[in-house]
Amino acid sequence: MSVASVSLLGPDLVTRTLTAALDGLSIRQNVIANNIANVDTPDFRATSVDFESSLAAALADGDPEDTVISSTPTQTPVGANGNNVDQRKETMAAMQTVYQYQVLTRATSDRFDLLKTASADF
């Protein structure tokens, strides 16, 4: 019965995938915070985090831990003082990241709850 398929050797594949994604979102939140903090810093160039594509690939090989969380410069236009932080874009990205994080923590909790339900009154 797959709902109880937790190996005693460690967390199952789905939980490991969720954990890898949560790691990625955490880094993303920090990078967005840094971009927003430097919205007025001259010559500052914004960066953005990508991990979803790496996670999908790593998952296909059965190793979500191999996910690479990369931070690359954004393509936003540079302003007069050399700064290219798009505050609106960063604010939207921040909100979305928080939301995605909550979806995944909910998913993680749900899986633990299933195990608790299945193992209660045994």
Task: Please report, as ranges, the residues that interact with another protein according to CB under 8 A.
Answer: 1-3, 14, 17-18, 20-22, 25-26, 29-30, 32-34, 36-42, 44, 52, 55-56, 59, 87, 90-91, 94-95, 97-98, 100-114, 117-118, 120-121
CB of 25 to another protein, least distance (A): 8
CB of 7 to another protein, least distance (A): 15
Nearer to another protein, 13 or 77 (CB): 13
Q: Which of 43, 45, 36, 69 is nearest to 55 (CA)?
A: 69
Nearer to another protein, 37 or 78 (CB): 37
How far, in Å, CA of 33 to CA of 122, rounded?
A: 47
Nearer to another protein, 56 or 78 (CB): 56
Residue 8: DSSP 8-state: T
Neighbouring residues of 49: CB distance < 8 A, sequence distance ≥ 6? 24, 27, 28, 31, 69, 70, 71
Q: Return the amino acid letter for 74.
A: T
